[in-house]
């Protein structure tokens, strides 16, 4: 074939920032989602699914990474010249659904949802452009009781994932407290002032990763990272930076002590007083639910980077440590978050519709919990029925069905290879056993079940073929009618 006529063959490669999930990883996600759904259903929430694509103007611009092109979303132009974007979370589509169906919905409207979301962000270790998310929201309920319920739900989700007190903590704050800080340092209530506040929010949201020194640059003129990329800062002066940092440090181990510290810092501000009063109501409700300071604490450094939050905000951190793929000890950190967003539906209705919700990233949380064995045992690999005679496939199918009826995972080999290749396939699948029925077994009404796990161990102790033939290690033969019993004997052993 000439170079001119060479057939183009694309290189098989996964797109950056996306991942494949198979087997145990996927099952762990489904187990986590099933537990979450039970919690939400028990609290009276209804399931809802929405499309992956929404009109771009419907989603709005609320992502923390707004300095990137496309404001952090993947977008395409439809044939009617309207722009569509993949949803970046499940909350913005909920706001559209509520506004579109407002008159027919019960209010408050309580729903839960899960599905993939997409972010057009720079990928990195543990940071993906597509991930599974699970949400619960109450729309149409003003006041701190609905916020407190979301915090209680967050705790119950952690418990459904087999986490206990001391292994997770819900950190709570109120976005209005930061608004009070910005007012106190002289930020104007203008578009420029709102942009400056948004930059401060994004800076504080990076406190865990960059530390005080790093975010002090982002609060001021700006910061250049290790790669040389420069991020413009909020432009606060030294006094403003000091005030913001003092606010992030106001959290104490005791919720009552945190109130004292915040009142001392912001007590003269009316907005702050209202926020603190609602946080005290939340304190009483979570205390009544049995959640002490070990489980729920008030932390002013929690601000949430998304731009639509208007009041109570919170993050759920898992405090356990595990080893990553490089064998390094890492702390789980934040796995879920939520808060109040009273202005999101108002974008469509023109009137404020109070709303609050909780969300967690399923993929990362499930992977971390699976690494600790907190989401149940792995599903065992199937017993493989070897297909040694193609004309006997109906008999092989019947054997596999018998095993399945007995609760044993089983499959029939579907390739066209000989016995050696079929045994290699079973070994690669991790099969605990194979069922062998060839011409000789069929003629005598017998079956052979080979224990692959035991056979592998015994083969290490056998030195020659004669010893192998005489011992026929880990192999059981019996009547065809005893198929299930023979396989069960192998699985028990």
**pLDDT, tens digit (0-9, with 9 covering 90-100), for 317-353:** 998 877 666 777 777 788 899 999 888 888 888 888 9
Task: List the alpha helices (DSSP H) in 249-406.
Answer: 255-266, 270-288, 346-349, 362-371, 393-405
| Partners of residue 173 on adjacent β-strands | 313
39 has a pLDDT exceeding 90: yes
pLDDT of residue 67: 44
Tell me the pairing of strands 475-479 and 446-451.
antiparallel
Long-range contacts of 129-133 (CB under 8 A, 24+ apart): 129/15, 129/16, 129/17, 129/18, 129/74, 130/17, 130/18, 130/19, 131/361, 131/362, 131/363, 131/364, 132/29, 132/33, 132/361, 132/362, 132/363, 133/89, 133/90, 133/359, 133/360, 133/361, 133/362
More confident residue, 253 or 179: 179
What CATH number should be reported for the domain whose range is 383-492? 3.40.50.800
Q: What distance in Å separates the CA atoms of residue 478 and residue 330, rounded to the nearest whole number?
A: 52
Instruction: For the chain, count helices (H), then strands (E).
Output: 18, 18
pLDDT of residue 8: 87
What are the percentages of helix, strand and coil residues in the chain, rounded to 5? Answer: 45, 20, 35
Share of the chain above pLDDT 70, in %: 91
Q: What distance in Å separates the CA atoms of residue 200 and residue 145, rounded to the nearest whole number?
A: 28
**DSSP code for 431:** -
Domain ranges of the chain: 24-371, 383-492
Q: Which pLDDT tens digit goes with each residue over 192-238? A: 888 888 888 888 888 888 888 888 888 888 888 877 788 888 888 89
Structure tokens given for 286: 């979570």
pLDDT of residue 305: 64
Q: Domain 24-371, what architecture?
A: 2-Layer Sandwich (3.30)
372 has a pLDDT exceeding 80: no
Structure tokens given for 75: 């977008």
pLDDT (average), residues 1-27 = 83
Q: What is the mean pLDDT of the chain?
A: 86
DSSP three-state, residue 66: coil
pLDDT (average), residues 442-471 = 65
Q: What distance in Å separates the CA atoms of residue 236 and residue 200, rounded to the nearest whole number?
A: 9
Are 398 and 479 a contacting pair, CB within 8 Å? no
Share of the chain above pLDDT 90, in %: 45
Topology agreement, domain 24-371 and domain 383-492: no
Are 428 and 445 a contacting pair, CB within 8 Å? no
Task: List the alpha helices (DSSP H) in 117-237.
Answer: 144-160, 175-184, 191-204, 207-219
pTM listed for this prediction? 0.81
More confident residue, 455 or 450: 450
CB atoms within 10 A of CB 356: 30
pLDDT (average), residues 306-311 = 78
Structure tokens given for 208: 């865990």
pLDDT (average), residues 254-266 = 88
pLDDT (average), residues 168-178 = 92
Long-range contacts of 39-47 (CB under 8 A, 24+ apart): 39/153, 39/156, 39/157, 39/160, 40/112, 40/136, 40/153, 41/112, 43/110, 43/136, 43/149, 43/153, 44/110, 45/110, 45/111, 45/112, 45/136, 46/110, 46/111, 46/112, 47/111, 47/112, 47/113
pLDDT of residue 61: 67
Q: CA 126, 363, 411: angle at the middle one, nearest 5?
A: 120
Query: Is the bond into 108 cis (omega within 30 degrees of 0)?
Result: yes
């Amino acid at each position: 074939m000439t170079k001119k006529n060479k057939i183009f063959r694309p290189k098989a490669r996964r797109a950056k920032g996306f991942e494949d999930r198979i087997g145990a990883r996927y099952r762990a996600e489904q187990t986590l989602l099933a537990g979450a759904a039970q919690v939400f259903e028990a609290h009276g929430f209804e399931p809802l699914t929405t499309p992956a694509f929404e009109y771009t103007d419907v989603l709005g611009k609320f992502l923390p990474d707004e300095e990137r092109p496309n404001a952090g979303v993947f977008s395409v132009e439809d044939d009617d010249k309207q722009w569509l974007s993949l949803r970046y979370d499940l909350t913005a589509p909920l706001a559209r659904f509520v506004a579109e169906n407002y008159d027919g919905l019960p209010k408050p409207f309580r729903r839960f949802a899960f599905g993939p979301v997409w972010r057009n962000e720079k990928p990195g270790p543990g940071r993906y452009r597509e991930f599974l998310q699970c949400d619960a929201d109450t729309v149409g309920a003003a006041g701190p009781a609905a916020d407190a319920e979301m915090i209680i739900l967050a705790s119950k989700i952690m418990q459904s994932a087999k986490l206990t007190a001391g292994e997770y903590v819900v950190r709570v704050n109120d976005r209005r407290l930061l608004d009070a800080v910005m007012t106190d340092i002289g930020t104007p209530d203008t578009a420029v002032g709102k942009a400056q506040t948004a930059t401060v929010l994004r800076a504080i949201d990076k406190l865990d990763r960059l530390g005080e020194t790093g975010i002090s640059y982002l609060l001021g003129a700006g910061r250049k990272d290790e790669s040389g990329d420069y991020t413009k800062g909020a432009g606060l002066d030294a006094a403003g930076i000091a005030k913001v940092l003092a606010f992030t440090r106001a959290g104490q181990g005791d919720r009552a002590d945190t109130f004292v510290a915040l009142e001392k810092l912001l007590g003269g501000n009316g907005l702050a007083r209202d926020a603190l009063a609602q946080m005290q109501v939340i304190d009483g409700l979570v205390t009544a639910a049995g959640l002490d300071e070990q489980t729920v604490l008030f932390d002013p450094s929690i601000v949430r980077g998304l731009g639509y939050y208007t009041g109570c905000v919170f993050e759920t951190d898992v405090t356990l440590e595990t080893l990553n793929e490089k064998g390094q000890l890492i702390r789980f950190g934040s796995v879920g978050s939520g808060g109040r967003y009273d202005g999101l539906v108002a974008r469509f209705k023109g009137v404020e519709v109070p709303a609050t919700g909780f969300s967690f990233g399923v993929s990362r949380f499930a992977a971390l919990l699976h690494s600790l064995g907190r989401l149940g045992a792995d599903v065992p690999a199937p017993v493989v029925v070897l297909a040694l005679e193609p004309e006997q496939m109906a008999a092989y199918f019947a054997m596999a069905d018998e095993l399945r009826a007995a609760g044993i995972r089983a499959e029939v080999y579907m390739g066209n290879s000989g016995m050696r290749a079929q045994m290699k396939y079973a070994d690669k699948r991790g099969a605990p056993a194979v069922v062998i029925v060839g011409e000789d077994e069929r003629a005598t009404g017998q079956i052979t079940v080979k224990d692959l796990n035991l056979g592998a161990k015994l083969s290490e102790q056998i030195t020659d073929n004669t010893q192998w033939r005489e011992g026929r290690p880990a192999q059981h033969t019996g009547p065809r009618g005893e198929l299930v019993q023979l396989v069960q004997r192998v699985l028990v052993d």
